[in-house]
Structure 1
Amino acid sequence: MTEQQAIAYYHSLPRLSGAPTLDRMRALLAALGNPEQQFRAVHIAGTNGKGTVASLTASILQAAGYRTGLTISPFVLEFRERFQINGEMIPPQELAALTEEIRAAADTLAEPPVEFEAVTALAFLWFARQKCDIAVVEVGLGGRFDATNVLPPPLVAAVACIGLDHTELLGDTLAAIAAEKAGIVKPGSIVVCYPDQPKEALQELIVAAGAAGCELVVPDKEDLRLLKGRPLENRIDYGGYQAALNFPGVHQAYNATMAVEIALALWRKGLEISDEAIDKGLAAARLPARIEVVGRDPLVVLDGCHNPDGMKALAAALTAENLPRFTAVLGMLADKNAAESLAAIAPCVRRAYTVAPDSPRALSAEQLAELANPHIPDVTPCASLQQALDLARADGAPLLICGSLYLAAQARPYFVK
Structure 2
Amino acid sequence: MIDLGLARIGHLIKHTPQTWKAIHVAGTNGKGSICAYISAMLNAKGISYARFTSPHLVDRWDCIAINGKPVSESLFLEVEKQVKQRDVSENIGASEFELLTATAFEIFNRQKVEYGVVEVGLGGRLDATNTLKQKSVTVISKIGLDHQSFLGNTIEEIALQKAGIIRQGVPCVVDGSNQQSVLQVIEQHAKETGASLQFPNATAVAEELAKSGETFEPHQIQNLAAAHLAFRLACPEHDAPLTSLLPAIKQLKWPGRLQKMSLENITGRQQDVLLDGAHNTQSAEALSGYVQRHLRSSGNPITWALAATQGKDMNGILSLLLQPGDQVVAVRFEPVDGMPWVKAADPKELLDLATQHGVDQSSVYSAGENVKDALTKASEMAGERPVVIAGSLYLVSSVLRLLREKSQDSSENAIWS
Query: What range is the shorter-chain TM-score in?
Result: 0.7 to 0.9
Q: In the alignment, which of 284, 288, 307 is matched to residue 251 of structure 2?
A: 284
- Whether 1:325 and 2:301 are equivalent positions in the alignment is yes
Q: In the alignment, which of 252, 257, 272 is matched to residue 225 of structure 2?
A: 257
Alignment deviations for residues 330-368 of structure 1 (CA, whole Å, 9 cap, x no partner): 111112111111111113971111111113611122121
> Counterpart in 1 of 2:338?
none
- Whether 1:78 and 2:59 are equivalent positions in the alignment is yes
Q: Which amino acid aligns with 1:34?
A: T
Question: Given the superposition, is the C-alpha separation of residues 192 and 65 from structure 1 closer, same or farther in structure 2, using an over 3 Å criterion?
Answer: same
Cα offset for 1:96?
1.8
Question: Given the superposition, is the C-alpha separation of residues 283 and 368 from structure 1 closer, same or farther in structure 2, using an over 3 Å criterion?
Answer: same
> More displaced, 174-183 or 97-106?
97-106
Alignment deviations for residues 197-229 of structure 1 (CA, whole Å, 9 cap, x no partner): 121211111112222332211122331437xxx
> Counterpart in 1 of 2:367?
382
> Counterpart in 2 of 1:229?
none
Question: Given the superposition, is the C-alpha separation of residues 278 and 52 from structure 1 closer, same or farther in structure 2, using an over 3 Å criterion?
Answer: same
Q: In the alignment, which of 305, 320, 327 is matched to residue 351 of structure 1?
A: 327
Alpha-carbon contact 1:42-1:157 (below 8 Å) kept: yes
Question: Given the superposition, is the C-alpha separation of residues 127 and 26 from structure 1 closer, same or farther in structure 2, using an over 3 Å criterion?
Answer: same
Cα offset for 1:391?
2.0
If each structure's strand is expressed as a fraction of its own residues, which one has the higher value? 1
Cα offset for 1:57?
0.4
> Counterpart in 2 of 1:233?
none
Alpha-carbon contact 2:303-2:326 (below 8 Å) kept: yes
Alignment deviations for residues 237-262 of structure 1 (CA, whole Å, 9 cap, x no partner): 18x7x5847xx631112111111111
Alpha-carbon contact 1:351-1:379 (below 8 Å) kept: yes
Question: Given the superposition, is the C-alpha separation of residues 264 and 409 from structure 1 closer, same or farther in structure 2, using an over 3 Å criterion?
Answer: same
SS at match of 2:160: helix
Cα offset for 1:59?
1.1
Cα distance in 1 between the residues matched to 2:322 and 2:38: 33
Cα offset for 1:46?
0.4
> More displaced, 210-219 or 187-196?
210-219
Cα offset for 1:91?
1.0
- Whether 1:371 and 2:357 are equivalent positions in the alignment is no
Cα distance in 1 between the residues matched to 2:199 and 2:285: 22
Question: Given the superposition, is the C-alpha separation of residues 196 and 336 from structure 1 closer, same or farther in structure 2, using an over 3 Å criterion?
Answer: same
Q: Which amino acid aligns with 1:392?
A: A
SS at match of 1:107: helix
> Counterpart in 1 of 2:83?
102
Alpha-carbon contact 1:64-1:277 (below 8 Å) kept: no
Cα offset for 1:146?
0.3
Question: How much is the aligned-residue C-alpha RMSD, in angstroms?
Answer: 2.1
Identity %: 28
How many residue pairs are counted as aligned between the two chains?
A: 383
- Whether 1:342 and 2:318 are equivalent positions in the alignment is yes
Q: Which amino acid aligns with 2:223?
A: N
Q: In the alignment, which of 391, 395, 403 is matched to residue 403 of structure 1?
A: 391
SS at match of 2:5: coil
Cα distance in 2 between the residues matched to 1:255 and 1:55: 10
Question: Given the superposition, is the C-alpha separation of residues 343 and 66 from structure 1 closer, same or farther in structure 2, using an over 3 Å criterion?
Answer: same
Cα offset for 1:133?
0.4
Cα distance in 2 between the residues matched to 1:167 and 1:251: 23
Cα distance in 2 between the residues matched to 1:272 and 1:186: 23
SS at match of 2:206: strand
Cα distance in 2 between the residues matched to 1:310 and 1:279: 24
> More displaced, 319-328 or 66-75?
319-328
Alpha-carbon contact 2:52-2:118 (below 8 Å) kept: yes
Q: Which amino acid aligns with 1:273?
A: D
Question: Given the superposition, is the C-alpha separation of residues 58 and 243 from structure 1 closer, same or farther in structure 2, using an over 3 Å criterion?
Answer: farther
Which 5+ residue runs of structure 1 have no aligned equivalent? 1-14, 227-235
> More displaced, 120-129 or 342-351?
342-351
Alignment deviations for residues 31-70 of structure 1 (CA, whole Å, 9 cap, x no partner): xx233x2111100000011000001101101111111100
SS at match of 1:188: coil
- Whether 1:23 and 2:7 are equivalent positions in the alignment is yes
Alpha-carbon contact 2:16-2:109 (below 8 Å) kept: no
Q: Which amino acid aligns with 1:214?
A: A
Q: In the alignment, which of 48, 70, 73 is matched to residue 92 of structure 1?
A: 73
Cα distance in 2 between the residues matched to 1:145 and 1:281: 34
Cα offset for 1:195?
3.2
SS at match of 1:352: strand
Cα distance in 1 between the residues matched to 2:113 and 2:325: 45
> Counterpart in 2 of 1:130?
111
Cα distance in 2 between the residues matched to 1:267 and 1:408: 33
Cα distance in 2 between the residues matched to 1:281 and 1:216: 27
How does 1:134-283 map onto structure 2 within 5 Å? Answer: 134-225=115-206, 237=209, 242=212, 244=214, 249-268=217-236, 271-275=237-241, 278-283=245-250
SS at match of 2:326: strand
Cα distance in 2 between the residues matched to 1:273 and 1:126: 27
Q: Which amino acid aligns with 1:66?
A: I
Alpha-carbon contact 1:249-1:317 (below 8 Å) kept: yes
Cα offset for 1:318?
1.6
Q: Which amino acid aligns with 1:379?
A: V
Cα distance in 2 between the residues matched to 1:187 and 1:217: 14
Cα offset for 1:172?
1.0
Q: In the alignment, which of 267, 270, 276 is matched to residue 303 of structure 1?
A: 276
Alpha-carbon contact 1:249-1:314 (below 8 Å) kept: no
Cα offset for 1:385?
2.1
Question: Given the superposition, is the C-alpha separation of residues 175 and 243 from structure 1 closer, same or farther in structure 2, using an over 3 Å criterion?
Answer: farther
Which 5+ residue runs of structure 2 have no aligned equivalent? 264-269, 336-341
How does 1:57-76 map onto structure 2 within 5 Å? Answer: 57-76=38-57
Cα distance in 1 between the residues matched to 2:30 and 2:181: 18
> Counterpart in 2 of 1:5?
none
Cα distance in 2 between the residues matched to 1:80 and 1:140: 15
Alpha-carbon contact 2:305-2:374 (below 8 Å) kept: yes
Alpha-carbon contact 2:288-2:320 (below 8 Å) kept: yes
